[in-house]
Amino acid sequence: MTVLAQLSYVIGCPNFHSNNNHHHHHHHFGFSPQISGHKVHNVFTSSTNTTFQVRLTTRQSPSTTVICSAANKPSTEISSTAKIRSEVLTPFRTVRMFFYLAFIASGALGGLIATTQLIAALANSSKAAEVPNILKGLGIDIGAVSIFAFLYFRENNAKNVQLARLSREESLSNLRLRVDEKKVIPVSALRGIARLVILAGPASFISESFKLSEPFTESLLERGVLVVPFATDMNSPSFEFEESEEMKEMTSKRKRLWQLVPVYVTEWSEWLDEQKRLANISPKAPVYLSLRMDGRVRGSGVGYPPWNAFVAQLPIVKGIWSGLLDGMDGRVL
């Protein structure tokens, strides 16, 4: 129960309402309700003409239609946090690269001197006896330059790969999530509190994932899991909740598990497309990404998320002791 309280505090939504939390946005929206008969139509307006609809239905309540349209986009500029994190994770890399360059320069200078000596020796027959020693020294210099150049470029490539990964993580942390019509938070706000599972695929994939997660709802919440559904085909995933009195508590948990909605859809699309490209996955393939408690990607795959594996692998989050188990989230991809 502690983790549920923490999530409610950060999300600010202890009473989840079905008429505003299960829709997908292109960007940040304004909100104005219109009441017609027994159905409520939540209409979002902005300066663009692009719209799409998301429909959420319950078995004992009328359906809700949400019309969304794009507004202003946020800045995608990445801060220097990725470079700082890289320095923290590999504090001696800069020192190693400095010495590699110093050894390369030293070997190159030695090779240049040896080359001039070799030319002089070949031009003067009286110095012919020195040629073998000069060639030996030149070979050592060339070998040293080659080895340290290889080490430098390998270190530099590792640095670039790490910076690229950290930059993607930084970009992910800056993406925005809508909790309700009054609250939008960055992904980074859930670090240390929730393990996000991002689903990206057509509406049918999202809807089926929703159904498959039902038996594991309570266990997933105990492990701090929250789902971020992202419909790539811009169609409307349908979420059905049982509103009977005996299912009231379970329905509340189901809504909490699935309440987060991506905003600024273009930003999310670009980030997900980059992840797929790096993994050599088709842009149209439905995928899932599982994040660690610290916000880093711990696992991903094509197809439906393995809810049962998440329950088996992830530790239960229990208040102040949760930090001791953060490292059990799995290795970083």
Q: How many domains does the chain have?
A: 2
Domain boundary among 172, 203, 224: 172
- Classify residue 276: in a domain, yes or no: yes
Output the pTM of the full model.
0.60
Return d(Cα 307, Cα 213) in angstroms, integer: 6
Q: Based on the domain organization, do 217 and 319 belong to the same domain? A: yes
Return d(Cα 287, Cα 268) in angstroms, integer: 13
Q: Give yes or no for a contact between 69 and 50, defined as CB atoms under 8 angstroms apart.
A: yes
As given in the structure block, the two tokens for residue 101 are 């360059």
Radius of gyration of the chain (CA): 28
Return d(Cα 17, Cα 82) in angstroms, integer: 37
Phi and psi of 295, rounded to 5°? 95, -5
pLDDT in tens, the chain (333 residues): 444 455 554 555 444 343 444 443 433 333 333 333 333 333 333 333 333 333 444 444 333 333 333 333 434 344 577 677 777 778 898 899 999 999 999 999 999 999 999 898 888 878 778 888 989 999 999 999 999 999 999 999 988 888 877 778 888 888 999 988 888 999 988 888 899 999 999 999 999 999 999 999 999 999 999 999 999 988 878 888 777 777 888 888 999 999 899 998 899 998 889 888 888 888 889 999 999 888 888 888 999 999 999 999 998 887 544 444 444 455 554
Q: Based on the domain organization, do 214 and 300 belong to the same domain? A: yes
Q: How many CB atoms lie within 10 A of CB 303?
A: 12
Angle at 286 between CA 223 and CA 54, to 5 degrees: 80
Domain boundary among 115, 140, 172: 172
pLDDT of residue 124: 85
Q: What is the CATH number of the domain that holds 201?
A: 3.40.30.10
Return d(Cα 57, Cα 16) in angstroms, integer: 15
